[in-house]
Structure 1
Amino acid sequence: MSSVSVSVLVVCLGNICRSPMGEAVLRHVASERGIDITVDSAGTAAYHVGEDPDERSVATCRKHKVPISHKARKVKTEDFTTFTHILASDQANLQNLKRVQPEGATAVVRLWGSYEDGMPIDDPYYGGARGFETCYQQCIRYSNAFLDQVVDK
């Protein structure tokens, strides 16, 4: 187990597709690697507060045997000091986070893809199953890249 205390908030827009999947995948990958971290997710908008993850996110995670359970919530001011890292799914959400980031924030706020290929995770909401699978594969890669750089130094 890692002795580094890391806590991560994965963020997308509505907190029903990318970020709950990212939360589940990062938690799962960390557990498989024997790394103890705290992971949560949130959205920069309040469109779906209290809702379960999109059924396609759930189906994709289940297909890959990754447990997923979450109720959508919006990013809160205290998240910027509660978590060590806040990982945005794309540039628009990164900009939204930076806009609301309070003075004295201690969390590292970055594009999640910046730990690997610098790419955003495109929103699969209006697409088909392929978009959710692409999102899942990015979450796997980005989880490993994040853990490699932040935890396994």
Structure 2
Amino acid sequence: MAPKILIVCLGNICRSPIGEAVLRHVAAERGLEIEVDSAGTGDYHVGEWPDDRAAAVCKKFNVPMKHEARQVQREDFYEFTHLLAADENNLRNLNYVKPKDATAEIRLWGSYLDGKPISDPYYGNAASGFEQTFHQCVRLSKAFLDSLESKPSSSNL
């Protein structure tokens, strides 16, 4: 069974859709079969398209992005193998709403590399914050996929 990964931030219009697009793209470049989606712990932007700046940075680096914001649901804790939080606040929120019998592994995405959170670029300046987020998602995607490939059970990827 292919791993199913949910990238999680607060509103699901900046960090997590970039992360979703980048992880899917990096996995495809490696020829790995995974499923990727993203969601927010908050319901602020449900049904909205990603922030224009998030879409622009993905377009700049030729990474396809197609997403509509949604909120994390109870079933996500069972349907996904991994829930990767963008920062500590969202990790706490996930652990707070996590069902006792959840099957997904829930971690800070940065824990696969350097332990650093993904800063929210929403209120920053247009180009630099979103480009930093994009490049951080590339590094985190590579580190996460390296961890999957090093597991014995990942031989069916």
TM-score normalised by the shorter chain: which range applies?
A: over 0.9
For each residue in 1:107-148, what CA deviation from the matched residue of structure 2 results, as whole angstroms up to 9, or x when unmatched?
000000000000000000001110100100110000000000
User: What secondary structure does 2:11 align onto?
Assistant: coil
Q: For residue 25 of structure 1, what is the aligned residue in structure 2?
A: 22
Contact 1:6 1:151 in 2 (8 A): no
Percent sequence identity over matched residues? 62
For each residue in 1:86-118, what CA deviation from the matched residue of structure 2 results, as whole angstroms up to 9, or x when unmatched?
000000000000000001100000000000000
Q: 1:130 aligns with which of 122, 128, 132?
A: 128
Which one has a larger percent helix, Structure 1 or Structure 2?
A: 2
1:5 Cα deviation from its structure 2 partner: 2.0
Aligned length: 150
Divergent runs of 4+, >6 A: none
> Whole-Å Cα distance in 1 between the matches of residues 133 and 18 of structure 2?
8
Structure 1 length normalisation: TM-score?
0.96
The unaligned stretches of length 5 or more in structure 1 are: none
The unaligned stretches of length 5 or more in structure 2 are: 152-157
Which amino acid letter does the alignment assign opposite residue 9 of structure 2? C
> Whole-Å Cα distance in 1 between the matches of residues 150 and 26 of structure 2?
13
Q: 2:3 aligns with which of 1, 6, 19?
A: 6
> Whole-Å Cα distance in 2 between the matches of residues 99 and 16 of structure 1?
22
